[in-house]
Each structure stands twice: as C-alpha cells, then as structure tokens.
Amino acid sequence: MAHHRRYTDADMAPRSALANVVRSLYRARVTATKPVYWWYERRLRRKVRTGGKLPKHLGLILDGNRRFAKASGLQREMGHTFGAEKAHEVLQWCLELGIPAVTIWVLSTDNTSRDPEEIAHILKLLEQEARNLATDPRIHGNRVKVRAIGQHSQFPPQVLSALQDLEQVTAHYDGMMLNIAVGYGGREEIVDAVKEYLGKQAAAGHTLEAAAQQLGPDDISAHTYTADTPEVDFIIRTSGEIRLSGFMLWQSVYSEFYFADVNWPSFRWVDFLRALRDFQGRKRRFGK
C-alpha cells in the first residue's frame, strides 16, 4: 500500500474565517481529554490497519448539516459550510488508509425542492469546493480521479463549468476514485441506465422487443454512473437516521451499512475508525 502523507492545517489554506474560529473552539473543548483520545485513536487505528480488509468502495451519506447548525445556534446555511469542511477532512482519512474508491452524497434530487436560498448556497459551495479540489495538492499528489455523478442539467453554468474543469484536470489519474454525488437519486440513476442501454440497442438496429429480451442485471450495471467502480461494499450514514434514502440503490445490493449517531460536521476520526473496525468484524455472505 502506498504511503499517504497526513496533511496538517498548515498544508491546507483555510476555507473561511468562521471555520477557523470553530476549529479553535473545538480544540479548546477537547484539550482536557486529548491524551486519552490520542491513545484510544492510536490503538484503534492500529487495529484498523491490521484487522482485515478495508472497503474497496466506501459510500458516505453526509446527513445532519442543518441539525448541526441548529444545535450550534448558527444559520442553516452554515451547516452546509461546515459539512464541506468535514468532507475535506474525511477525504484525507480515506487517503491515509488507502481506500480505493469513495462516493460522497452531497445533494439528492429530492433536496433540490428545498428553499431556493439554501439550494443556491449549496450550489455556490459546490462550485467553490470543485475549484479548490482542482488545485488541491492532495488530489494531484495522490492522483485522485474525481467525477461528479447525478443529473446536473439544471445547475447554473458556473457550477457546471467548475465540475467539468475538475473532472478534466483529474481524468488521467489512476489513484483513488472519488465520486461526488450531487443532484443524485438512486431511482433516477437506474432509469438513466435503462435509457442509455435502450438507446445503444436502438443505435445498433435492435428492436425494443429484442432489447427487452436481452436485458439483464449486468446490462444495467454497465450503464450506471459508477460502472467503472467496484460495487459499494460499505455505506456510512451520519445523523442517526437509519435509511438509505435512495443512495446507490443498484450498487448496494450486498453492501454493509453503518449508521453513526452524530451529525456530519461533528463526525470525528475516531467515529470513522469505529465504523471501519465494525466493517472488518462482519462476515460478508453475498446472499449465500
């Protein structure tokens, strides 16, 4: 496994002054317990590294941003800002452990019906983060290939441009595969996969009846957004909600699930290690 350098705060430019304030407050709050947590995290990390296989494809449902903001006395939109900060941090954890593929769910198709100001803020964050990732030394140093998956036709032009630029600048990389699921819905993905399959069958001169008779599970798998990525084998959802909400419905047929009772911006390194340790302790049967 390749060695991945752990980046410190000094290596990464701060994304916002408020984020720096929150980081400082958080560090002050945990100072008293830092020695205990340092020992526990170190022990847990050693167990994860030596305890068995890690996921080949990790799915992350980033839930609880708005609840975090409410509990912290912040404006609703700030929850998404801190959620974006956390996503950068968790990316670093995945790089350190050498997880080959990661899909993070940022915005669902259902979420797009929320308050227009909130959606505008999320899309603005998406544009900013896409441009940040395009120049992030971790992305290029670890040869991370980034792809946005979902339905994006209704996104503002500047957001589409930022996502396309990010995909283009990392398209030739052969390291981690990072899928950013935005404007994403599992049902919509399956519908798109079937449409693409039928379109190719029609282009090849096959009738609808013939295409339907030939259609099998492998044909749909080959036309999903993540067709070139291993099926997701472990899915973590934060916020305590115990449901998938449509995340990777086709690819998760044999996935293991972990539901963390913490809002996404509060998700810690030790929470991540606990989840992975839980995954390593499971015996996967794949329906047998």
DSSP state of 184: E
DSSP state of 78: H
65 is in an annotated binding site: yes
How many other β-carbons are positioned within 10 Å of the β-carbon of residue 164? 13
Instruction: Count CA atoms within 13 Å of residue 199 on its CB side.
Output: 7
72 is in an annotated binding site: no
Q: Token pair for residue 227?
A: 């067709």
Residues identified as active-site: 63, 111
178 is in an annotated binding site: no
272 is in an annotated binding site: no
Which residues are within 8 A (CB) of 214 and not within 5 positions of it... i.e. 6 or more apart?
201, 206
76 is in an annotated binding site: yes
How many other β-carbons are positioned within 10 Å of the β-carbon of residue 145? 19
Q: Token pair for residue 254?
A: 């044999």
**Contact call for residues 54 and 176 (beta carbons, < 8 A):** no
131 is in an annotated binding site: no
245 is in an annotated binding site: yes
Full DSSP string of 205-260: T--HHHHHHH--HHHHHTTSTTTTSPPP-EEEE-TT----TTTTTTTTTT-EEEE-
**Contact call for residues 231 and 254 (beta carbons, < 8 A):** yes
Q: In 3D, which of 139, 124, 193, 196 has the Cα closest to residue 171? A: 139
In this structure, is the dihedral angle defined by the CA atoms of residues 198, 184, 125 and 265, taken in order, positive or negative?
A: negative
Report the alpha-carbon distance of residue 211 to residue 264 in Å, rounded. Answer: 43
109 is in an annotated binding site: yes
252 is in an annotated binding site: no
219 is in an annotated binding site: no
282 is in an annotated binding site: no
108 is in an annotated binding site: yes
161 is in an annotated binding site: no
244 is in an annotated binding site: yes
Report the alpha-carbon distance of residue 65 to residue 82 in Å, rounded. Answer: 8
Report the alpha-carbon distance of residue 187 to residue 150 in Å, rounded. Answer: 11
29 is in an annotated binding site: no
68 is in an annotated binding site: yes
114 is in an annotated binding site: yes
Binding residues: 63-68, 76, 80, 108-110, 114, 237, 243-245, 256
Binding residues for substrate: 64-68, 76, 80, 108-110, 114, 237, 243-245
Binding residues for Mg(2+): 63, 256
